[in-house]
A and B are shown apart, each in its own frame.
Chain A
Amino acid sequence: MSFDQDLEFIEMGVKKLKRQLEGDPEAIVTMVDKMSLYTKVYNLCTQRGSPVSPRELYDKYKELIIEYIMSTVLPSLQEKCDEEILIQLVEMWGIHKKMVHKLFLYFQYLDHGYVSRNSLPPLHEVGLTCFHDLVFKEFKDKVRDAIISMIAQQREGKPFDGDSIKSVLDIFVQHGIEIGFEEAMLKEAAIYYSNKASSLVRKFSYREYMLKANECLQREKTGVSCYLNASTEAALLEVVRNEFLSLFAGHYLEREKSRFLTLLAHENAEELSRMFRPFSKDAIWSHMAEPLSNIFKNHVHMEAIALARDTAMNGQEFIQKAIKLHEKCLKYINECFQEHDRFRQALAYVFHWLCNTAVGGRQPLELLASFCDDLLKKDCGKRLSDKAIEETFEKAVKLLPYVYAKDHFLKLYRENLARRLLSESANDDRERKILVKIKQQIGNWFQHPMKRMVDDITSTRENQLSFRDYIDRNSSIRPGIDFAVTVLSQGLWPDFKLADLDLPPEMEKCKEVFGEYYQWKNKDRKLTWIPSAGTCNVVGRFEPKTMELIMTPVQAAALLLFNSTNRLSYSEIMTQLNMTEDNVVGLLYSLSCAKHKILIKEPAMKTISPTDYFEFNSKFTDKMASIKIPPPPVAKSKKATEGVNKDCRWTIDASIVRIMKSQKVMAQKELVKECVKELGHMFKPELKMIKKRIEGLMARYFLERDSQDPELLRYLP
């Protein structure tokens, strides 16, 4: 066969295939046809002196494809638009792919041999590239416009073929052809919704406008989900949202803001919640959160300022009102503002200010500590039920996270706790429950020592039973006085002033008995006695009537001296008790110049001096049968503050060293940031203090400044 004949043979075969693919019932490519075509190609490639060279064959292949496209595919697409073009394109592409595949079967030998040997694009690629260049590129704009107009029609309510859109988009994506679809679509959506929003704004109130806007968003979302990918979908929704919101600011914002403020001022929670009810949390109304939360913040701030400046209130009232304000705001946030973050932040801002700004010279944290103490003291239990106390406490502790110097608060709390636990009405169960509530608010880091304090009291009670047992079993060592000992673990409890003194023999005997018991029970522990703490019930036989006096063992020791004589001098008392001067002064003051004057002082001035004389006040009486003598005064709160400051310094030092040890080299700014972060849950260290500590550590050769870069600090091992 000649060149032309061979080629014509091939052309015929291809034409037949085409017709078959187009659905021509008469064109059936049989097995024989396939085989003969294949053989033809094979022969042409392998025969020596073949009329057709492989190159020519290759070119012919390409020519055939192109011719097919030009004659069949292009015309079919030319006149179409909208849906039809999409469907047609998908169909044509499908046919083409089949065609290329089938042709490949015939031209296989060419592909394996000639093509790969000469590094030419393989045949199927040629086929695809042709379609690419001739069809896709040619029609991509038309396709895009078709899709966009289909989307627009969908918005107007026309039926919609999402699948064909998806198929076409997929094809283009697969072949990496950029049709600028996303851009055009977003632009078109913006125009559409801008118009829509304008029309709505003129007709509807704010709520209705937002509802409609929400509707549009939902519709878009369901509409495009079948054919758009996630990121394009998100971009589209963003555009829609923006179009609606851009008009909101101009038309509705001011009105809504003033309405919101009025509702707040009138405390109209009902209306406030209705304002936001139709919208879910992440829907359109979130944009309003910023202006409204600012209004909310300012409003609450005003209330807080008024509260802080009210000098007529005492500490208790202040805390109560602060709690009330806090609860009210929480109610708004939870019920009306759908717990939106911005409102939470607004509340946090105001209460951070309120809980750390001094009120009438006292820090809120001190007032809070006193408030908690009052709640938990014995007499409160008479006025309020257990449940009420717990509820009030729970609300009060919610203020704790706002306090910066939490460690200071806890130190005060611990002192109060110690006092409560050592009083007669210690309720260790309730104290434990309360500690849990505090833990819930500010974390666990402080809790351990305080919990152990409570445990001490619990174990003391158990101990007491076992001690009684011990005495009962060993009758010879009866102490003679009915007494109980509270054993405290050292280091947990606030420091007691160890008033060293000589106790009367009765008390000494008690000490001895218990000491033996305790040694027997706990062999490796050492006891140190604190007579200034604890209570002693003393029977006072006064002329008017006999009364019971409740006081500390130290005071009892002093009074017992008067059993042997009616009158003693200051120095006699001091010698007999073997006490230091400071302790004696406070002690005698509490017995002679305070509320209950058990001793008469000569001269009668209200200050104790070493030349005073003291006499038993036999005429003393009170309408009660049993009274409590106030203990000797001790300067407490100043110590707490001093202690806290010192602790502060060491804590910061420790933190700095810790950070630098792990980092080895660090910029000063970073170090400060890390330090503040690390200590933030306890207190807020000031920049100046941290700087001072850093300089101190440099002087002690823990750190040094880098010689090249003064901002850099280095850890010195």
Chain B
Amino acid sequence: MRRSSTKKAGQAASAARANPSAADLLRTASSKATSKELERIDSLFSAYANGTSGLVDPEGIESLCADLEVDHTDVRILMLAWKMKAERQGYFTLDEWRRGLKSLKADTISKLKKALPQLEKEVKRQSNFADFYAYAFCYCLTEEKQKNIDIENICELLDLVLGNQFRAQVDYFVEYLKAQNDYKVINMDQWTGFLRFCNEISFPDFSNYDPELAWPLVLDNFVDWMQAKQG
């Protein structure tokens, strides 16, 4: 009896699937996550979110980091923010949360944790890295209408974002920034210039560096300073 009824249900179900509505198609086509997953993502959000603001705030992020067993100054959190396209440093909105976790296909903490190495690889890809790099700068513009980042924070950010790839360049550039007095802040143009510099210019001889090209002046000065040091 039951079997037949199940069969009927199964048949009915398959009949339903055979004539799918447009909405059904859309849903299955657009997001790979099923509604179950979405529910879990949302509930995960509420686990870390602040009840009154409805956002994951710095406290929430800290506990998230603890659960992920990642230091909250780790670059992977920045990468996560990038994946979420988070706008405000230290906070995640529900939309951003959904966006990030959906694309990582992570609806539990353990899945999220497992997704991190994959995320790292994704960011490091040439096509994405420049975008991530620029994002890192914007993410640190905490005040409204802020266009520049002060030297101290820049040095930390450089170390965080480029430290693995361009250890030597970052170390020397940071040393220079701390030693010089001409610049108190770094702007976006100079920031992006530095990545291009690391990618294109041979280090530490700077043999292919041409100050007549459109390198930001701060890098011209950096090269001069390095060359003076090297004697």
CB <8 Å contact, A705 and B214: yes
Q: Distance (Å) between the CB of B130 and the closest chain A CB?
A: 10
A460 to B92, CA, bound (A): 75
Q: What per-residue 1/0 map shows which CB atoms of A349-380 lie under 8 Å from chain B?
A: 00000000000000000000000000000000
Q: Distance (Å) between the CB of A514 and the closest chain B CB?
A: 52
Q: How many residues of B contact A (CB 8 A)?
A: 12
Q: What per-residue 1/0 map shows which CB atoms of A680-717 lie under 8 Å from chain B?
A: 00000001100110010011000001000011010000
A25 to B193, CA, bound (A): 97
CB <8 Å contact, B147 and A699: yes
Q: Determine the residue in chain B with the shortest Cβ distance to A669.
A: B212
**B216 at interface by CB-CB < 8 Å:** yes
CB <8 Å contact, A668 and B214: yes
A667 to B220, CA, bound (A): 18
Residues of B near A691 (CB, < 8 A) are 216-217, 220
Residue of B211, B214, B216 with most chain A CB atoms under a 10 A cut-off: B214
CB <8 Å contact, A711 and B220: no
Residues of B near A710 (CB, < 8 A) are 193, 196, 214
**B189 at interface by CB-CB < 8 Å:** yes
CB <8 Å contact, B189 and A698: yes
CB <8 Å contact, B211 and A699: no
**A672 at interface by CB-CB < 8 Å:** yes
Residues of B near A687 (CB, < 8 A) are 211-212
Residue of B147, B193, B213 with most chain A CB atoms under a 10 A cut-off: B213
**B187 at interface by CB-CB < 8 Å:** yes
Residue of A669, A705, A710, A711 with most chain B CB atoms under a 10 A cut-off: A710
CB <8 Å contact, B189 and A688: no
Q: Distance (Å) between the CB of A456 and the closest chain B CB?
A: 43
A713 to B189, CA, bound (A): 12
Which residue in A668, A669, A688, A713 is a CB contact (below 8 Å) of B220?
Answer: A688
CB <8 Å contact, B216 and A695: yes
CB <8 Å contact, B213 and A668: yes
Residues of A near B211 (CB, < 8 A) are 687
CB <8 Å contact, B189 and A705: yes
A89 to B189, CA, bound (A): 78
Q: Distance (Å) between the CB of A697 and the closest chain B CB?
A: 11
Q: Determine the residue in chain A with the shortest Cβ distance to B182.
A: A692
Residue of A667, A669, A691, A711 with most chain B CB atoms under a 10 A cut-off: A691
CB <8 Å contact, B147 and A713: no
Residues of B near A698 (CB, < 8 A) are 189
A150 to B216, CA, bound (A): 70
Residues of A near B214 (CB, < 8 A) are 667-669, 705, 710-711, 713
Q: What per-residue 1/0 map shows which CB atoms of B214-226 lie under 8 Å from chain A?
A: 1011001000000
A11 to B217, CA, bound (A): 93
Which residue in B147, B196, B217 is a CB contact (below 8 Å) of A688?
Answer: B217
Within 188-231 of B, Cβ neighbours of A (below 8 Å) are at 189, 193, 196, 211-214, 216-217, 220
Q: Determine the residue in chain B with the shortest Cβ distance to A704.
A: B189
Residue of B193, B216, B217 with most chain A CB atoms under a 10 A cut-off: B217
Do A669 and B189 contact each other (CB < 8 Å), given the known contacts A688-B220, A691-B220, A699-B147? no
A219 to B227, CA, bound (A): 61
Q: Determine the residue in chain B with the shortest Cβ distance to A706.
A: B214
Residues of B near A699 (CB, < 8 A) are 147, 187
Q: Distance (Å) between the CB of B144 and the closest chain A CB?
A: 17
A111 to B212, CA, bound (A): 72
Q: What per-residue 1/0 map shows which CB atoms of A654-685 lie under 8 Å from chain B?
A: 00000000000001110010000000000000
Q: Determine the residue in chain A with the shortest Cβ distance to B221.
A: A688
Residues of A near B216 (CB, < 8 A) are 691, 695
Q: What per-residue 1/0 map shows which CB atoms of B57-80 lie under 8 Å from chain A?
A: 000000000000000000000000
Q: Distance (Å) between the CB of A41 and the closest chain B CB?
A: 80
Q: What per-residue 1/0 map shows which CB atoms of A567-611 lie under 8 Å from chain B?
A: 000000000000000000000000000000000000000000000
Q: Determine the residue in chain A with the shortest Cβ distance to B224.
A: A688
Which residue in A669, A692, A711 is a CB contact (below 8 Å) of B217?
Answer: A692
A137 to B213, CA, bound (A): 60
A668 to B214, CA, bound (A): 6
A642 to B212, CA, bound (A): 27
Q: Determine the residue in chain B with the shortest Cβ distance to A667.
A: B214
Q: Distance (Å) between the CB of A298 and the closest chain B CB?
A: 29
A713 to B214, CA, bound (A): 9
A710 to B191, CA, bound (A): 13
Residues of A near B193 (CB, < 8 A) are 710
A415 to B217, CA, bound (A): 35
**B residues engaging A (CB < 8 A)?**
147, 187, 189, 193, 196, 211-214, 216-217, 220
**A residues engaging B (CB < 8 A)?**
667-669, 672, 687-688, 691-692, 695, 698-699, 705, 710-711, 713
Given A687-B211, A710-B193, A713-B214, 7 extra CB contacts under 8 A: A669-B214, A687-B212, A691-B220, A695-B189, A695-B216, A698-B189, A711-B213
Task: Return the 4 tightest CB-CB contacts between A and B, nearest first.
Answer: A668-B214, A691-B217, A711-B214, A692-B217
> Could you list 21 examples of A-B contacts with CB < 8 Å?
A667-B214, A668-B213, A668-B214, A669-B212, A669-B213, A672-B212, A688-B217, A688-B220, A691-B216, A691-B220, A692-B217, A695-B189, A695-B217, A698-B189, A699-B147, A705-B189, A705-B214, A710-B193, A710-B196, A711-B214, A713-B214
